[in-house]
Amino acid sequence: MKFIVSSGQLLRALQTVSGVIQSNNTLPILDHFLVHLHPGQLTITASDLETTMTTTLSVDSSETATAAIPARMLLDTVKSFPEQPLTFTLNPASHALEVSSDFGKYALAYVDAAEYPKAASLDGADRVHLPAHVLSTAIHKTLFAAGNDDLRPVMSGVFFQFTGDGLTFVATDAHKLVRYRRTDFSAPATAEFILPKKPLNLLKSTLGTGDNEVEVAYNEQNAQFTYDGVTLICRLIDGKYPNFEAVIPKNNPNRLVVDRGAFLSSVKRVSIFSNKTTHQIRLKVAGNELHISAEDLDFANKAHERLGCNYEGSDMEIGFNSRFIGEMLGNLESDEVAVELSAPNRAGILLPEGGLDAGEEVLMLVMPVMLNA
């Protein structure tokens, strides 16, 4: 069995799926790429049992074959070549994959592909079609807010809620929450599922931001994403997502609008002087001025800055974790941001002021921290 392929194309395909492979696989076969050769086409698969990713590329071949090839060795070998055609020959008698380049010849052992685990099938799945940039934006806007607590696995992923009225994506770790909505797209039937972080990160790095279509298929146990010659199948997180709508304050009489870039820069500077355990900063709004301050009593460090803003409401003082505020401001793209507040012990809401597409909504919520006297 023999095929010829561009080293650059092969490297891109291997790098696309290699993120699935773990460094501590329980099954040795999972340290391999599963390779299927068809006439004119090569399919490469990587799996960790929970997530399976497959990509397809064109090759010069008229044969059919299957093999499981050591992933790290193949990737390192292909990575070392400049752009050139590579010739691969599978020798069943010696179980060796021979690679011929402009520089010389190389051989690595492969194993029987029959041991490789089969990917889950999504029979009877519902399907939604989205432009890649919509799904990519939803993941970028929400994933940073997902939790890392193994005791609450449902909060370690992103919640997908598909209805006939729109698509909602939510992530929270109980300290911060992001809700991203698209009312310009809808699903044929109502569905809810929680996607783990690993496949989300793989999607984030490979989706792109174009208008090419992504097909999302899902059933009770698994979800499948198909785009640009790539198929990603992953197991969903089992469990019921918390009622996120119940924690979003509906009545927020105090509202300030401030330049997002200036606010983010100020938070970054002031937070340097905050307590290294709490990362607490203090926001005080009076008139049309926002005062941002931090103090670390243990080391006698403190900082204070003042920004102009448009404010409607009564004077107020509230404390937040500067890292959460910084992450949220960094994930918004509008020139200005609105901060809605109700009381010093109630969650604050961050909303972009403009800069969104029609049918696009972003809401970010951050819990306050108790202010020192």
Task: Convert the pLDDT of each residue in 92-123 to its tens digit.
Answer: 889 999 999 999 999 999 999 998 999 998 98
Task: Convert the pLDDT of each residue in 41-89 to its tens digit.
Answer: 999 999 999 999 999 999 999 999 999 999 999 999 999 999 999 999 9
- State residue 162's pLDDT score: 96
Contact 353, 334 (CB under 8 A): yes
Q: What percent of the chain has pLDDT over 70?
A: 99
pLDDT average, residue stretch 342-358 = 93
- State residue 372's pLDDT score: 67
- State residue 231's pLDDT score: 97
Amino acid at 371: L
Amino acid at 193: F
- State residue 76's pLDDT score: 97
Is the pLDDT at 286 greater than 90? The verdict is yes
Q: Which token pair is 114?
A: 């029959």
Which sequence spans correspond to the domains of the chain? Answer: 2-115, 126-243, 248-366
Correct CATH for 248-366 of 3.10.350.10, 3.10.150.10, 3.50.50.60, 3.40.630.10: 3.10.150.10
Average pLDDT, the chain: 95
What's the pLDDT band for 373 if we cut at 50, 70, 90? Answer: low
pLDDT average, residue stretch 242-263 = 95
- State residue 25's pLDDT score: 87
What's the pLDDT band for 281 if we cut at 50, 70, 90? Answer: very high
- State residue 37's pLDDT score: 95
Q: Crossing angle for the helix pair 322-331 and 260-271, nearest 10 degrees?
A: 150
Q: What percent of the chain has pLDDT over 90?
A: 92
- State residue 224's pLDDT score: 97
pLDDT average, residue stretch 272-294 = 96
Is the pLDDT at 330 greater than 90? The verdict is yes
For the domain made up of 2-115, give the CATH fold.
Answer: DNA Polymerase III; Chain A, domain 2 (3.10.150)
Is the pLDDT at 210 greater than 90? The verdict is no
User: What does 133-193 look like in DSSP terms, one character per residue?
Assistant: HHHHHHHHHHGGG----TT-GGGGSEEEEE-SS-EEEEEE-SSEEEEEEESS---SS-EEE
Same fold, 2-115 and 248-366: yes
Task: Convert the pLDDT of each residue in 144-178 to its tens digit.
Answer: 999 998 889 999 999 999 999 999 999 999 999 99
Using alpha carbons, select from 337, 319, 317, 321 the residue that is nearest to residue 329.
337
- In angstroms, rounded to a whole number, what is the distance separating the alpha carbons of residues 267 and 138? 25
Residue 345 exposed, middle or buried by CB count within 10 Å (0-12, 13-18, 19+): exposed
For the domain made up of 126-243, give the CATH fold.
Answer: DNA Polymerase III; Chain A, domain 2 (3.10.150)
- State residue 26's pLDDT score: 86
